């Protein structure tokens, strides 16, 4: 059921009025302010009992007391079980991002290693996303870097191919990886299918933590090859054993008694929190990652950890064990939710002694050090933002800066780029790319391209957030360019009725040297900063990041254009049929010249599809 009371008094008296309509059902409640913005989303085993806690006029923490005072209405939704309430609560928190809830701000997926099984000679590669392809998956790894290091180790020890199927099929001689002993070159028959599958099996044993068995098998094979006087093979096996030994000695934090776990430690200081996660799989450390959750205006450690666990494993399969350094609210409920998501029992607890406690202490130390570094960087960033406000005469340090740049080559593949910086540095999740649609791109009109980008950006902001409540509105615009670009942006903003956002053009000086930048503002003379001013370096970093982002978007677009063919425009011709046609005829031009019978001879091309392709290139009348 749902109730709202937008006109009711705020605070304890308002909440008291809702108790009459509540029963002992489990469910989720929302607290809203006078503008109907969600302040907090909570769950309850017993809605009436939980909400009645807010009726008390005293005994609350400062955070809860502020939240109660700001509450102007509430909404309720009952569920069948408390577990359902917890899941619904976390979904609503991620969707609504309430001010007083703990919110995990970085919930990207983690990469795996995939040994694909859809080819006679399976390839090994990095995989991110849903595990939908046929093959064996190993992960998660903390980062792409951790995956790449492991892939590098596997290549040295097991000589598995990493090339795509198309590259594999087109090889006529071994590639460089075979020459440097990183691949067994199955593409040109340097290894039999049986022997290659043996390497695959050994690699899977290694990734399952059974490297000692693999090493023993290699040693036995080396001894036999030596006895049979197959000295070249024995030397190759010796090199693989040496590489495996180096891998084993170089691995860090490899617990003997913990085959599979996530080690999660929370450290709080100065109103900020850092959660460090170590991934232990197959008795090996597969890297670590730090997170900085939004702490809901002062939540305590048990609440932060509960919110982190339920949000972190939303869409990720939990391991068999989760080791923590703090107790968590509603531990039994969290265990039940994680076990339900995993489809098996998940152990969640705080170890007190032994190897598990050592793992947790190591994670806690990393969380403490990571938070200290972040706080130091934030303090430096704060000083730079204050310097920026002073240099440009702003009312205060900007909380969100948007930097714009364009990239093209003589008007082709024109792209606009926007990067965002704030109190915590670059906010890469909010970068945007704009494919230039107007004639400004083709005409190499930089002013016109800037007008288009800013028009599209702020028309969308005005439509989606006219009241500027989302935090997506900038406090400062930096434009890569001089007076002309600033004038074009000013014209756009004035036309949209947005005339209260400062904008500055960053142009290189006469010699176009870094350090001699000139800054342009509407109605004011250009000026420069001292060459050794930290604020100047800060602006240069933002300008260079915008340039990098725009150039990258342009190169991606250009690469797609280079590989594009007329076949892409034929309805029903997808990637597989496109490959079949190009493999059969050699080029799109040859496909265009082909007769109907020739098209029908292509594997995977039906008579009707052949007719469609032929009609596309030979329209009637």
- Report if residue 474 sits inside a domain: yes
- Report if residue 556 sits inside a domain: yes
Cα–Cα dist 159/195, whole Å: 11
Q: What is the pLDDT of residue 107?
A: 62
- Report if residue 512 sits inside a domain: yes
Range of the domain at 530: 400-561
Same domain? For 582 and 438 the reply is no
- Report if residue 386 sits inside a domain: no
Angle subtended at Cα 346 by Cα 345 and Cα 350, rounded to the nearest 5 degrees: 140
Is the Cα torsion angle 356, 358, 363, 367 positive or negative in sign?
Answer: positive
Domain final residue pick, 222, 250, 278: 250
Phi, psi of 527 (to 5 degrees): -145, 170
Same domain? For 573 and 592 the reply is yes
Same domain? For 441 and 479 the reply is yes
Domain final residue pick, 229, 250, 271: 250
**CA neighbours closer than 13 Å in the CB half-sphere of residue 303:** 16
Number of domains in the chain: 5
The enclosing domain of 279 has a CATH number of 3.30.420.340
Q: How many CB atoms lie within 10 A of CB 392?
A: 19
Same domain? For 73 and 124 the reply is no
Cα–Cα dist 36/102, whole Å: 20
Same domain? For 539 and 416 the reply is yes
Same domain? For 276 and 312 the reply is yes
Same domain? For 405 and 549 the reply is yes
- Report if residue 255 sits inside a domain: no
Cα–Cα dist 442/414, whole Å: 8
Same domain? For 90 and 148 the reply is no
Q: What is the pLDDT of residue 1?
A: 43
Cα–Cα dist 221/214, whole Å: 11
Cα–Cα dist 593/339, whole Å: 60
- Report if residue 454 sits inside a domain: yes
Tokens of 561: 């254009």
- Report if residue 446 sits inside a domain: yes
Q: Enumerate the β-bridge partners of residue 275.
A: 266, 291
Q: What is the pLDDT of residue 202?
A: 84
Same domain? For 129 and 246 the reply is yes
* Cβ contacts of 253 within 8 Å, gap of 6 or more: 278, 280, 285, 359, 362
Cα–Cα dist 95/89, whole Å: 10
Same domain? For 585 and 550 the reply is no
Q: Enumerate the β-bridge partners of residue 425.
A: 422
Q: How many CB atoms lie within 10 A of CB 594?
A: 20
> How many residues are recorded in the chain?
621
Determine if the pTM surpasses 0.85. no
Q: What is the pLDDT of residue 513?
A: 59
Task: Could you list the beta-strand ranges (E) of 17-93.
Answer: 27-32, 38-44, 73-78
Same domain? For 148 and 212 the reply is yes
The enclosing domain of 599 has a CATH number of 1.10.150.20
- Report if residue 466 sits inside a domain: yes
Same domain? For 213 and 362 the reply is no
Domain final residue pick, 69, 100, 131: 100
The enclosing domain of 68 has a CATH number of 3.40.1440.10
Divide the 621 residues of the chain into consecutive groups of 10 and give the mean pLDDT of each group.
50 88 93 91 93 88 90 93 90 89 79 89 89 86 83 83 87 88 90 90 81 73 79 73 61 72 93 91 86 85 92 89 93 92 93 93 92 86 93 93 85 84 90 86 79 93 87 92 91 92 86 74 90 90 91 78 70 82 82 87 88 83 47
Cα–Cα dist 58/317, whole Å: 41
């Amino acid at each position: 059921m749902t109730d709202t009371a937008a006109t009711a008094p705020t605070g304890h008296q308002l909440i008291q009025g809702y108790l009459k309509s509540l029963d002992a059902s489990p469910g989720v409640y929302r607290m809203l302010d006078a503008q109907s913005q969600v302040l907090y989303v909570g769950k309850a085993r017993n809605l009436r009992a939980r909400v009645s806690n807010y009726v008390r006029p005293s005994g609350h923490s400062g955070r809860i007391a502020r939240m109660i005072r700001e509450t102007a209405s509430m909404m309720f939704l009952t569920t069948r079980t408390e577990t359902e309430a917890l899941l619904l609560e976390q979904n609503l928190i991620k969707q609504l991002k309430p001010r007083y809830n703990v919110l995990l701000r970085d919930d990207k997926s983690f990469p795996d290693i995939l040994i694909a099984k859809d080819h006679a000679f399976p390839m090994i590669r990095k995989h991110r996303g849903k595990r939908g392809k046929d093959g064996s998956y190993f992960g998660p790894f903390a980062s792409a870097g951790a995956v790449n290091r492991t892939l590098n180790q596997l290549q040295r020890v097991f000589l598995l191919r990493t090339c795509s199927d198309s590259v594999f099929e087109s090889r006529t001689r071994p590639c460089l990886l075979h020459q440097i002993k990183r691949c067994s070159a199955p593409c040109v028959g340097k290894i039999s299918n049986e022997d290659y599958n043996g390497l695959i099996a050994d690699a899977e044993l290694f990734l399952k933590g059974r490297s000692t068995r693999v090493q023993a098998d290699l040693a036995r094979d080396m001894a036999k090859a030596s006895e049979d006087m197959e000295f070249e093979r024995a030397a190759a096996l010796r090199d693989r054993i040496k590489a495996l030994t180096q891998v084993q000695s170089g691995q860090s934090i490899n617990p003997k008694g913990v085959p599979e776990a996530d080690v999660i430690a929370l450290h709080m200081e100065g109103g900020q929190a850092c959660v460090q996660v170590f991934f232990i799989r197959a008795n090996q450390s597969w890297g670590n990652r730090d997170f900085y959750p939004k702490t809901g205006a002062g939540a305590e450690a048990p609440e932060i950890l509960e919110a982190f666990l339920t949000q972190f494993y939303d869409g990720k399969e939990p391991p068999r064990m989760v080791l923590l350094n703090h107790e968590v609210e509603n531990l039994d409920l969290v265990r039940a939710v994680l076990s339900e998501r995993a489809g098996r029992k998940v152990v969640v607890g705080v170890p007190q002694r032994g190897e598990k406690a050592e793992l947790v202490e190591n994670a806690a130390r990393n969380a403490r050090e990571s938070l200290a570094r972040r706080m130091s960087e934030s303090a430096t960033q704060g000083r730079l933002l204050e310097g920026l406000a002073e240099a440009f005469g702003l009312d205060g340090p900007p909380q969100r800066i948007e930097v714009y740049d364009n990239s093209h080559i003589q008007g082709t593949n024109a792209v606009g780029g926007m990067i965002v910086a704030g109190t915590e540095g670059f906010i890469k999740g909010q970068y945007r790319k704009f494919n230039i649609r107007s004639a400004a791109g083709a005409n190499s009109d930089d002013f016109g391209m800037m007008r288009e980008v800013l028009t599209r950006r702020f028309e969308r902001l005005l439509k989606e957030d006219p009241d500027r409540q989302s935090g997506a509105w900038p406090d400062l615009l930096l434009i890569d360019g001089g007076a002309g670009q600033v004038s074009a942006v000013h014209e756009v903003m004035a036309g949209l009725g947005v005339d209260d956002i400062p904008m500055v053009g960053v142009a290189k000086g006469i010699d176009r040297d870094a350090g001699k930048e000139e800054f342009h503002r509407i109605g004011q003379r250009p000026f420069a900063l001292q060459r050794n001013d930290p604020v100047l370096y800060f602006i240069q970093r933002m300008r260079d990041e915008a340039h990098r982002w725009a150039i990258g978007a342009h190169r991606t677009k250009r690469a797609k254009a280079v590989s594009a063919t007329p076949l892409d425009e034929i309805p029903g011709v997808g990637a597989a049929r496109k490959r079949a046609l190009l493999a059969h005829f050699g080029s799109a031009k040859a496909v265009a010249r082909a007769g109907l019978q020739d098209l029908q001879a292509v594997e995977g091309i039906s008579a009707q599809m052949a007719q469609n392709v032929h009609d596309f290139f030979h329209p009637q009348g």
